[in-house]
């Protein structure tokens, strides 16, 4: 595939930092979820509570002893943005507006969906995520930016050779070119969930973070059969990636100038994640103090400057069979930092916080993650699809 000079633009706008005053910390007792030990991170230092390890946690298994994790490059690709299972194979979306089959480590010779000409591929805009229907493999859903800047979620139907016959489910005007959100994923209720940012700019320019009269700044639930959309939860700045597992949702929300965050909550309508009242676990408006009653605060935050952090890229909960020692770990990275970190959510807290970067190395600009048809984990960097594999004692 051809190389695209997209990295500087994407890097410029994804973090969307500003020179605002750093917000004040919120006492842990004001959170509706228990705080993790990452709350008071220092720039340039390992986040407190994150253990750098070369010896993974032990678990009962008949496999040889796990000595570490590693990256295995599966394929080169210009900005792979999302990878999802599809029958016995997998589908990979590229930011330029194409979708390819990945099977047995090989990409298809041609895309099975090519809407490049109707996608604005600029900065944070482009093909942003895909999802396959949980029961019907001939139905593919895509979230992309139209040429006029609108957010579009559409369904495409398999015709035996590729996906076509677009059916538009949602079209939404975007006031700016950043904070367009990204992820789509089906929930246990059969609806398709979409993450949307606050409309762009800085400091919640358009006032959408706490506005329940707009779909911007929240998770949106879409009935894909009736093409009906509704705001499900709100108070998000730019939920580029989230992950739904059973009745829990893990939301990696991109921060502004100080903190990236991951919230873990029950998938419950009406949840308010705090933006722009809070950024991470800190007051943002006003920075000197705020009322956090009724807000759901993140279980971890990562301060800008920690290992190059600028824009968090979540993340999946690992449920594959090849590395049972990391079952239940939620993995995440950062577009600038390129590290690999994880935690388990247990008892309302983030526990077993682990930094795997020393083992796997830095992947470059990480845009997201994916799981294949065997539920194994992939990291999607700016020029490569990487599989996370086990290293075991011989």
115 SS3 class: coil
- Rounded to whole angstroms, the Cα distance separating 62 from 60 reads 7
Q: Which residue has the higher pLDDT, 338 or 10?
A: 338
Model pLDDT for residues 349-387, shown as the tens digit of each residue: 999 999 999 999 999 999 999 999 999 999 999 899 999
Would you tell me how many other CB atoms lie within 10 Å of the CB of residue 383?
16
Q: What is the pLDDT of residue 394?
A: 85
Lowest mean pLDDT segment, chosen from 3-7, 267-271, 324-328, 375-379? 3-7
Of the candidates 213, 275, 269, 280, the one whose C-alpha atom is nearest the C-alpha of residue 35 is 280
Lowest mean pLDDT segment, chosen from 14-28, 267-281, 321-335? 14-28
| Residue 58 burial (C-beta neighbours within 10 Å; 0-12, 13-18, 19+) | exposed
- Rounded to whole angstroms, the Cα distance separating 170 from 193 reads 12
Average pLDDT score over the chain: 87
Pairing between β-strand 312-317 and β-strand 300-303 as defined by DSSP bridges: unpaired
Q: What is the pLDDT of residue 97?
A: 98
DSSP 7: H
- Rounded to whole angstroms, the Cα distance separating 67 from 359 reads 9
**Long-range contacts for 162-167 (Cβ within 8 Å, ≥24 apart)?**
162/111, 162/112, 162/113, 162/114, 163/99, 163/112, 163/113, 164/113, 166/115, 167/227
pLDDT at 7 over 50: no
Lowest mean pLDDT segment, chosen from 6-10, 187-191, 272-276, 382-386? 6-10
Q: What is the pLDDT of residue 35?
A: 29
Say whether the peptide bond before residue 196 is cis (omega within 30 degrees of 0). no
- How sure is the predictor about 6, in pLDDT bands with cuts at 50, 70 and 90? very low
- Rounded to whole angstroms, the Cα distance separating 119 from 93 reads 13
Torsion 75-332-204-269 (CA) sign: positive
Please name every residue paired with 296 in a beta bridge, in sequence order, or none if there are none: none
Which CATH class name applies to 17-392? mainly beta
Say whether the peptide bond before residue 286 is cis (omega within 30 degrees of 0). yes
| Residue 118 burial (C-beta neighbours within 10 Å; 0-12, 13-18, 19+) | middle
- Rounded to whole angstroms, the Cα distance separating 309 from 52 reads 16
pLDDT at 24 over 70: no
Kindly report the CA angle at 349 between 299 and 233, in degrees rounded to 5? 50
Model pLDDT for residues 67-110, shown as the tens digit of each residue: 999 999 999 999 999 999 999 999 999 999 999 999 988 999 99
Q: What is the pLDDT of residue 51?
A: 56
- Domain boundaries of the chain, sorted by first residue: 17-392
pLDDT at 321 over 70: yes
Q: pTM for this structure?
A: 0.88
Q: What is the pLDDT of residue 177?
A: 87
């Amino acid at each position: 595939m051809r190389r695209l000079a997209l990295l500087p633009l994407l890097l410029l706008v994804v973090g969307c930092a500003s020179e605002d005053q750093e917000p004040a910390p919120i006492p842990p007792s004001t959170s509706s979820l228990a705080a993790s030990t990452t709350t008071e991170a220092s720039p340039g230092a390992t986040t407190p509570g994150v253990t750098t390890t070369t010896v993974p946690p032990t678990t009962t298994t008949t496999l040889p002893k796990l000595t570490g994790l590693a990256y295995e490059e599966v394929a080169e690709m210009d900005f792979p943005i999302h990878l999802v299972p599809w029958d016995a194979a997998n589908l990979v979306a590229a930011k330029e507006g194409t979708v390819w089959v990945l099977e047995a480590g090989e990409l298809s010779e041609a895309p099975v969906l090519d809407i490049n000409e109707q996608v604005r591929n600029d900065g944070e805009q482009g093909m942003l995520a895909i999802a396959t229907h949980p029961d019907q493999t001939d139905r593919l859903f895509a979230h992309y930016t139209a040429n006029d800047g609108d957010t579009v979620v559409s369904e495409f139907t398999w015709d035996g050779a590729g996906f076509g016959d677009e059916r538009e489910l949602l079209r939404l005007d975007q006031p700016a070119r950043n904070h367009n959100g990204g992820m789509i994923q089906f929930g246990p209720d059969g609806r398709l969930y979409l993450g949307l940012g606050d409309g762009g700019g800085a400091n919640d320019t358009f006032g959408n973070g706490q506005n329940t009269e707009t779909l911007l700044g929240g998770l949106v639930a879409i009935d894909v059969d009736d093409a009906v959309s509704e705001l499900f939860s709100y108070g998000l700045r730019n939920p580029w990636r989230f992950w739904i597992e059973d009745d829990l949702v893990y939301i990696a929300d991109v921060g502004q100038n100080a903190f990236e965050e991951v919230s873990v909550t029950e998938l419950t309508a009406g949840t308010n994640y705090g933006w722009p009242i809070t950024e991470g676990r800190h007051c943002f408006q006003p920075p000197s103090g705020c009322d956090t009653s009724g807000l759901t605060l993140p279980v971890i935050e990562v301060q800008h400057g920690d290992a190059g952090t600028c824009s968090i890229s979540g993340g999946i909960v690992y449920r594959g069979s090849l590395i049972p020692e990391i079952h239940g770990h939620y993995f995440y990275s950062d577009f600038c930092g390129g590290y690999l970190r994880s935690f388990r959510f247990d008892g309302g807290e983030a526990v077993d916080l682990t930094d795997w970067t020393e083992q796997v190395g830095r992947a470059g600009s990480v845009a997201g993650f994916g799981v294949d048809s065997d539920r194994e984990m992939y990291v999607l960097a700016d020029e490569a699809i990487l599989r996370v594999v086990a290293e075991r004692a011989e």
